[in-house]
Amino acid sequence: MDVQSVKQRFGIIGNSHLLNRAIDIAMQVAPTDLTVLISGESGTGKEVFPKIIHQFGSRKHGHYIAVNCGAIPEGTIDSELFGHEKGSFTGAHEARKGYFEVVDGGTIFLDEVAELPLSTQVRLLRVLETGEFLKVGSSKVIKTNVRVVAASNVNLPKSIEEGKFRQDLYYRLNTIPVYIPPLRERKDDIHLIFRKFTTDFAEKYRMPPIRLTDDAQTILKKFYWPGNIRQLKNVTEQISIIEREKLVDAQTLRKYLPNDNTTELPVLYKNQEEGISERELLYKVLFDMKKDMNDLKKIVLELIEKGDDHDNIEQTKALLVKDFGTDLLVPNKDSDSSVKISHPKDDDAGHLDDFDHSEVIEESLSLQDKEREMIKMALEKHRGKRKNAAEELGISERTLYRKIKEYNIK
């Protein structure tokens, strides 16, 4: 059976090279008993590929079961997978077989495998390596012959670095990797999938199918689709039910796309997982600014020490002032003082060599002072409008209000 026949049998839509490659790998590995790890973002349709592997393998007449590891509480996951003996824990009124015992001779699909607790990962690794496991509350070794297909929508190598996933289990699962591309990597398939959903909903709700204008199709392709096929299906269903006009233009389509994220340009965002506070972000900006200023001072000092052409040195100083719009204090190689580079005045533009020599004034290294100054500047810029000032600073309005009270800013 070829790739196209598999698509028709399992309802897969699209002609993307990456998608065809994933299907081809699944078909090739199906006749073997190798463990397969399917990776891809949430909503890409990873759950279809274990079925392909099972149906085209030697175990197709055996049991097939899909287990969502993230949906089972940590306290019961071992019992669900490996079973338990009567009285092994509170509520265990009778013995129970686990999935690995029930599916003996078949295929088990472990979705969201990264959500497994570390203790359960040890048990799973033993099953994969020896085909043996112990029920909860039992010392009797049970043999099983199960093919494991796992899937994850998280970066497992990163989870390994964070100590959340065992490295040996990762390599054991990742014998054959299958990557499922997100919608944004198969743009030409988006409208095909959209049309399939519109036909399905038209039949379901007994109404004419919706269609998109050319500009709406462009918007559809450019959208980032973080929820992938699942999100596209939801949007299609909403439009099918709500819109009376069945020819949908770009303006109408935008109303159903969150934040109208049609650009493919990178955007700034806050990584909540890293736990970076607003103050730490602000301090980082301040330190980066200070580092840039120090680098500029070094550049001018190197030019002076090299004895470069006097006119070139003065032109460099003038360009630095023009670009950064501020006075720079750079060391003077002939004394302990510093040279202050300022904006040249109109009446002495031709006398850039007449720089005043002044003593270095120690700048404040207090982060609180810097923070207070930036808040005051933002408030002045936006004429006291706290909401706009908070957006300028990249902090919440509530945090800004608290800092205004803390620093007694009028």
C-alpha of 48 from chain center: 23
Query: What would the DSSP string read from start to end of 252-300?
Result: HHHTTSGGG----S------GGGT--HHHHHHHHHHHHHHHHHHHHHHH
Is residue 298 pLDDT above 80, yes or no? no
* Mean pLDDT, range 232-254, rounded to an integer: 95
Q: How many CB atoms lie within 10 A of CB 300?
A: 18
Closest CA to 153 of 258, 228, 74: 228
**Residue corresponding to tokens 């590995």:** 29
* Mean pLDDT, range 3-31, rounded to an integer: 96
Please, which residues have CB within 8 angstroms of residue 6's CB and are 6 or more apart in sequence? 12, 23, 27, 52
Helices then strands, counting H and E runs in the chain, come out as 17, 12
Radius of gyration of the chain (CA): 32
Spatial distance between the Cα atoms of 354 and 347, rounded to a whole number of angstroms: 13
pLDDT in tens, 353-379: 444 444 444 444 466 777 788 888 888
Closest CA to 356 of 325, 323, 332: 332
Report the chain's mean pLDDT, rounded to a whole number: 83
pLDDT in tens, 89-143: 888 889 999 999 999 999 999 999 999 999 999 999 999 999 999 999 999 999 9
The per-residue b/e assignment along 251-275, b for 16 or more CB within 10 angstroms, e otherwise, is ebbeeebeeeebeeeeeeeeeeeee
The confidence score (pLDDT) of residue 286 equals 66
Spatial distance between the Cα atoms of 191 and 71, rounded to a whole number of angstroms: 32
CA dihedral (255, 256, 260, 263) positive or negative: negative
Is residue 268 pLDDT above 90, yes or no? no
